[in-house]
A and B are shown apart, each in its own frame.
Chain A
């Protein structure tokens, strides 16, 4: 069973607030990802990391930022939340190898910005 955790699970916050969504994994995976998913829709990659001190933007433009100071931790930050940021944010991780690099997903954070 995958050991990847996200907190908080649910967050309702006002416009303009700074928020950080936490993601941690205990599998020692080098690769980590952040996806944004609206209800009933597909997953959009917004950030990923190959390892410590490595971060890249994904296919979907996002106003969020990420950091990777430790292998197990990949937090996502929104400096100033807006209603358009309302969505579910899923964190995932995988091993750094060419084959069989299946991704393990955390339970997600459902964010509502009022």
Chain B
């Protein structure tokens, strides 16, 4: 597609339920990133994919959070047993290449707003 696509745009769930957030990066972009944006805060890095592998998962807040990427394209961020503090906007970004200097401009999707009741 023309840009990074995320779905759903909004998700309301009950505490304790699992949720899956989807990201469809720009075609041809090998690098994909997940960020979390809490109210009034900056963007918190969660995980980075280069192709289908995730060399950096250091930002995942707990083992309830996991992510995968298949076919070098779509990625899914899964949050198990959601808690109220997981409520935030989850943003996905992609770039042509992870560590290539000239190519690492990250382009963002519109995010998924997650509300845990």
- Tell me, yes or no, whether A binds B: no
Give me the interface of B with A, judged by CB distance under 8 Å: none
